[in-house]
Amino acid sequence: MGKLGDYLASQCGNPRGVIGKIMTWAMNRANNVMYKGIIEEINISPKTKLLDVGFGNGYLEKLIIRKSPCSITGIDISEDMVRKATEANRKYVASGNMKFQLGDCCDLSFKDSSFDVVTTMNTIYFWSDTAKGIAEISRVLKEGGIFYNAVISKENLDKFFYTKNGFRKFTKEEYIALGKKAGFRGIRIKKLGNDYGLLIIYMK
């Protein structure tokens, strides 16, 4: 399982080609409870400027815009996912509500205080420098902005054979410590689907 596990982990962290498309489609189904949880919780209106980090195939964006029109910018390190998400949401890209671009959350190209809300789902395990990524997100959030970080809990990630390598797994306490270090003034954790996942809500 070693080589297969490592290959699947690398596809989760940087989906590409046909296998990347299939895996992101499968993740959309497997993680339904997490999409539902983040959508229920996020506070958005037509005035909201939202950044989604690591959008994959752009499925979360469709759910966000169904909740409320808003301005969505997505960044992802995978060129294939930029193409896929743009194609999947072409109607909203054409209307100017969404844009998808290449980018790494450890080195964001946006000015300070650019966004009201930042979301990310199942991406933090793959960032090259977690503390830097959270600090960058805090930097681009406006005062009073919120960062929603949806993750599978460490206990559940440990059950999957392909998460042995290539995944950084954090406990609740570590998620809280990372947020405090980045200067977030309030941190709340909500369970997603009977302990399957966690939504860590960081308030600036």
116 binds ligand SAM (CB under 6 A): no
Options 65, 121, 152, 182; binder of ligand SAM; rule CB under 6 A: 121
Closest separation in Å from C-beta 17 to ligand SAM: 13
Nearer to ligand SAM, 47 or 83 (CB): 83
Nearer to ligand SAM, 12 or 44 (CB): 12
Helix (H) or strand (E) holding 99: strand 98-102
105 binds ligand SAM (CB under 6 A): yes
176 binds ligand SAM (CB under 6 A): no
Amino acid (one-letter) located at 137: I
Pairing state of beta strands 141-152 and 115-121? Answer: parallel
123 binds ligand SAM (CB under 6 A): yes
197 binds ligand SAM (CB under 6 A): no
Amino acid (one-letter) located at 41: E
Asked if 164 and 5 count as a contact pair (C-beta separation under 8 A), the reply is yes
178 binds ligand SAM (CB under 6 A): no
126 binds ligand SAM (CB under 6 A): yes
* Ranges within 24-53 binding ligand SAM (CB under 6 A): 27, 53
Closest separation in Å from C-beta 21 to ligand SAM: 11
122 binds ligand SAM (CB under 6 A): yes
Query: Phi and psi (nearest 5°) for 165?
Result: -115, 155
Q: Which long-range contacts (CB under 8 A, 24 or more apart) does 142-145 make?
A: 142/113, 142/114, 142/115, 142/116, 142/204, 143/113, 143/204, 144/203, 144/204, 145/113, 145/115, 145/116, 145/117, 145/118, 145/203, 145/204
Residue ranges in contact with ligand SAM by CB under 6 A: 12-15, 27, 53-56, 59-60, 75-78, 81, 104-106, 121-123, 126-127
